[in-house]
Amino acid sequence: MGVNKETIKEGDGTNFPKEGDQLTMHYTGTLASDGSRFDSSVSRGKPFQFVIGIGQVIRGWDEGVMKMSLGEKAMLKISSDFGYGARGAPGAIPPNADLNFEVELLAIGTKKAPGFSSSSSSYCVVM
């Protein structure tokens, strides 16, 4: 099935991530089946940083986030084969679970969305 992006708030329409860019995002992940939340950078108050397009995140993020522009907020509806698949994520995500992520693209490298500012010490980083 893959990933479907539904825009909640438009971004700048100009700056889009490309493979190898370091991104800073906020997200809240829920199970599509019952809406239960399994993770949220928003509730921790720490944006999430990763490099797009190199497999640091699930395939649904690698493909869906690259369709977003800077400052955009969207819902990514991700089928299990683009998420955690048959293995799931023990203790958080059951096997073969479809997922919904509300995501906001806060920065692409050093380009920040309007209104976003923070210090590098307040990030959760994937290395």
98 carries an active-site annotation: no
Residues 6+ apart with CB under 8 A from 58: 78, 82, 83, 84
Please pick, among 48, 50, 101, 108, the residue that the annotation labels catalytic.
101
Which of 50, 52, 58, 78 is an active site residue?
Answer: 58
123 catalytic? Reply is no
What SS3 state is found at 80? helix
Range list of β-strands (E), the chain: 3-9, 22-31, 37-40, 48-51, 73-78, 99-108, 111-112, 124-125
Task: Write down the catalytic residue from 39, 81, 116, 123.
Answer: 39
Of 48, 50, 82, 84, which is the active-site residue? 84
The answer to whether the CB of 76 falls within 8 A of the CB of 4 is yes
Active site residue 50: no
Alpha-carbon span 124 to 63, nearest angstrom: 21
* 27, 48, 50, 82: the active-site residue: 27
Whether 16 is catalytic: no
34 flagged as catalytic:
no
Residue 11 DSSP one-character state: -
Active-site residue list: 27, 38-39, 58, 84, 101
